[in-house]
Chain A
Amino acid sequence: MRLYPPSGLTPTTPQVNALMRLVVFFVVYFVALTWPVMQGFNRIEPFILGLPFSMAWVVAWVLLGWLVLILRYRSDRRAER
């Protein structure tokens, strides 16, 4: 079983960069859903798939966060092979 990150080994620069990218993404995620950025997307209309825009905006970020985690996982798997 391969340990991740490999225990006892120095993380490589790409690993550190990948971690930083993940951190930056989730900081943006937080900013997008809280004051003051959220105020710009805090509308009822247009309705998206029946949901008010404010709720659809939050759901969209959850889905985007999910996508980012999936992509990150896939690239980690490729790097390990």
Chain B
Amino acid sequence: MERWQLVTGITVAYLLFTLGVGLFVGRKATASVQGYVAADRGFGLVVMYFVVGATVYSAFAFLGGPGWAYSRGAAAFYILAYGVIGMAPWYVLGPRAAALGRRFGYVTQAQMLVGRFPSRFLSVLLAVVSLAAFIPYITLQISGAGIVFNAVTDGRVPFWLGAALAYGVVLTYVLYGGVTSVGWTNVLQGVFMIVIAWSLGLYLPYHLYGGIGPMFEQIAASRPELLTVPGLTGGGAPWTWGGYSSAILVSAIGFTMWPHLFMKAFTARSDDTIRRTVVLFPSFQLFLIPVFLIGFAGVLFPSPPSAPDAILPHMVLSTGLPTVVVGLFCAGALAASMSTGDALLHASASIVVEDGVRPFFRMPDRLQRLLMRLLVVAVGLVAYAFALATPASLVRLLLSSYGVVVQLAPVVIAALYWRRATTAGALAGLTGGTFTTLVLFLNPQARPFDVHEGIYGVIVNLVLLVAVSLMTAPQSQAHADAFVEGR
């Protein structure tokens, strides 16, 4: 049997196994919206840990992470730096959100915000913002799956087929078992990603340079600019401190606010589960160390890859690794892509139905679940179409989606901690902040100090939120008290 056939065989076997796990655990989900969206609030620690870890680390981490370390050097350290700051607020926010979810039956972030700031316009706005941020993100995951399949089979499995195979599997189990299947397949995929990343991250430096120390000494001798922050830009020029520092800030805030991760607070069995997930998360974060080692191992690699993001498959294929390892790598990269893509597809459909449609039409539970399933397919197809078209601006769109997602932060904090906040204030802040971010995104030269546009958006957002809230009539004491605890 030829090498590519064996690699494809292993990968397909892995896909089938994932499908089996997804369908098997999906049987347990109750046939209700709470079951489909929030897993009947029954996720324990192991599932929560891997849902969060595997969802956060996507195809971007597995392919883009090494690509950044390879082409931009220390610029990649920002990814390592922000994770823990982005997760820590969950230690406090998570149990708060979960308590409100149990009390009022919320399953999405927008429901909680609209609960505090009653406005159907806000609900739709949040659904639109979430979907706009999700679609480029899903598209990148689907592209990642196609690229990996295509690379390791020497182009024998075309991009469209590889992407379709992997996401056909994802669609099937998301449709069938909802978030319960997403959770348990992420356990499998998370374990897989960690094992593959650490083995390759330690193996490649030893195999190519005789160790991690010798590898960095050689890079320090020939490309020292790669080893100090802020590293380089994509074009090879030195990156700015403003760009580097604000990337950490905007990612940390955005990380806390991503609607698909926020929703997971409503899936946890207990507050203790949420807190323990937060406390254990840095262990998943350390997964980026081998990812960067892989990228740095490529710096002095004799032959350059076709694109920086392909450095990992390129090295895996050209260092004479055993075929089984190549197959497992392929499966690991697919795992990274699929475990993020499934959560995003599921969250998009849930959010559109719960926040975009349901405030206007009362409908039975059964119809809601049907609509969610239709939307999972629709969103998947749209993202697949984008992936086939592969517009070059997608990576920029993804970066800008962080700018939009951080605009949720002032509203979330105000909803949970500020009694005097009003609906008008929340709407003014959110629209003003998002508008500022979009204007600066389209005119990047107008941003002072190369700071990420989302930061300027948050400043405008906060000012408007506070000013408009103070100018409008306060909410009733009892209403605010239900959301804000304490004095």
Tell whether A pairs with B.
Answer: yes
Chain A residues with a Cβ under 8 A of chain B = 1-5, 7-11, 19, 22, 26, 29-30, 33-36, 38-39, 42-45, 47, 49-52, 54-55, 58-59, 61-63, 65-66, 69-70, 72-73, 76
Enumerate chain A residues within 8 angstroms of B160, measured Cβ to Cβ: none
Instruction: Name the contact of A1 in the complex, choosing from B80, B229, B270 (C-beta under 8 A).
Output: B270
Whether B286 contacts A30 by the Cβ 8 Å rule is no
With an 8 Å Cβ cutoff, the count of chain B residues facing the other chain is 49
By the criterion CB–CB under 8 Å, are A62 and B216 in contact?
no
**Max chain A Cβ within 10 angstroms of own Cβ: one of B74, B227, B276:** B227
Q: Is the CB of A3 within 8 A of B88?
A: no
A62 to B486, CA, bound (A): 32
Show the binding face of B for A, using Cβ within 8 Å: 74, 77, 80-81, 83-85, 88, 91-92, 95-96, 99, 103, 211-217, 220, 224, 227-229, 241-242, 244-245, 248-249, 252, 270-272, 275-276, 278-279, 282-283, 285-286, 289, 292, 485-487
Residue contact A4 to B271, C-beta cutoff 8 Å: yes
Contact check, B85 vs A30: say whether CB atoms are below 8 A apart: yes
Q: Please list the 7 inter-chain residue pairs (A to B) with the smallest Cβ-Cβ separation, ordered nearest first.
A: A50-B213, A50-B212, A66-B282, A34-B245, A35-B241, A65-B84, A52-B227
User: Which of A4, A55, A76 contacts B74 (CB under 8 A)?
Assistant: A55
Chain A residues lying within 8 Å of B279, measured Cβ to Cβ, are 66, 69-70, 72-73
With both beta carbons as reference points, the residue of chain B lying nearest to A18 in the complex is identified as B92
- The answer on a CB contact under 8 Å between B92 and A47 is no
Given A55-B292, A72-B279, A73-B91, 6 extra CB contacts under 8 A:
A1-B270, A5-B485, A34-B81, A54-B227, A69-B278, A69-B279
B248 and A44 form a contact (CB under 8 A): no
Give A55 to B88 CA distance when docked, in angstroms: 21
Nearest residue, chain A, Cβ from B81: A33
Cross-chain contact A22 with B103 (CB below 8 angstroms): no
B229 touches A62 (CB 8 A): no
Q: What are 19 inter-chain pairs, A to B, with CB distance below 8 A?
A: A4-B272, A7-B99, A30-B85, A34-B241, A35-B241, A50-B211, A50-B213, A51-B216, A52-B228, A55-B227, A55-B292, A59-B80, A63-B282, A66-B84, A66-B279, A69-B279, A72-B91, A72-B279, A73-B276
Closest A residue to B80 by CB, please name it.
A58
* Residue of chain B at shortest CB distance from A63: B282
Q: How many A-B residue pairs have CB under 8 A?
A: 127
In the assembled complex, the CB of B28 is this many whole angstroms from the nearest CB of chain A, namely 21
Q: Tell which of A35, A43, A49 touches B228, judged by Cβ atoms closer than 8 Å.
A: A43
Find chain A residues with CB under 8 A from B85 CB. 26, 29-30, 65
- Chain A residue nearest to B79 (CB atoms) is A58
Interface contact B88-A69, CB-CB below 8 Å: yes
B81 engages A52 (CB within 8 Å): no
A47 to B227, CA, bound (A): 11
Q: How many angstroms from the CA of A35 to the CA of B247 in the assembled complex?
A: 12
**Contact check: which of A52, A59, A69 meets B216 at CB < 8 Å?**
A52
Minimum CB distance partner of A80 in chain B: B272
How far is the CB of B72 from the nearest CB of chain A, in Å?
14
Q: Give the Cβ gap from B206 to chain A, nearest Cβ, in Å.
A: 11
When chains A and B are docked, how far (Å) is the Cα of A50 from the Cα of B229? 17
- The answer on a CB contact under 8 Å between B84 and A30 is no
Chain B residues with CB under 8 Å of A76's CB are: 275
Which A residues touch B88, using CB under 8 A?
22, 26, 65, 69
Closest B residue to A34 by CB, please name it. Answer: B245
Contact at B80–A19, with CB atoms within 8 Å? no
User: CA of A66 to CA of B281 in the docked complex: distance in angstroms?
Assistant: 8
Shortest C-beta distance, A44 to chain B (Å), equals 5
Contact A38 B486 (CB under 8 A): no
Q: How many angstroms between the C-alpha atoms of A58 and B278 in the bound complex? A: 19
What residues on A are CB-neighbors of B487 within 8 Å?
A: 10
**A4→B80 CA distance, assembly (Å):** 29
Provide the residues of chain A in CB contact with B278, threshold 8 Å: 69
Measured between beta carbons, the chain A residues less than 8 angstroms from B220 are: 44-45, 52
Q: Which of A10, A30, A58 contacts B252 (CB 8 A)?
A: A30
Give the residue among B95, B103, B272, B285 with the most A Cβ atoms within 10 A. Answer: B272
Give Cα distance in the complex from A72 to B270, angstroms. Answer: 18
- Complex formed: what's the CA distance from A20 to B285 in Å? 24
Name the residue on B nearest A41 (C-beta): B229
- Chain B residues contacting A51 (CB-CB under 8 Å) are 212, 216
**Contact indicator B245/A35 (Cβ below 8 Å):** yes
- B377 CB to closest chain A CB (Å) equals 37
B81 CB contacts on chain A under 8 angstroms = 33-34, 58, 61-62
Q: Which residues of A contact B229 (CB under 8 A)?
A: 38, 42, 54
List of B residues within 8 angstroms of A35 by Cβ: 241-242, 244-245
| Distance (whole angstroms) from the CB of A59 to the closest CB of chain B | 6
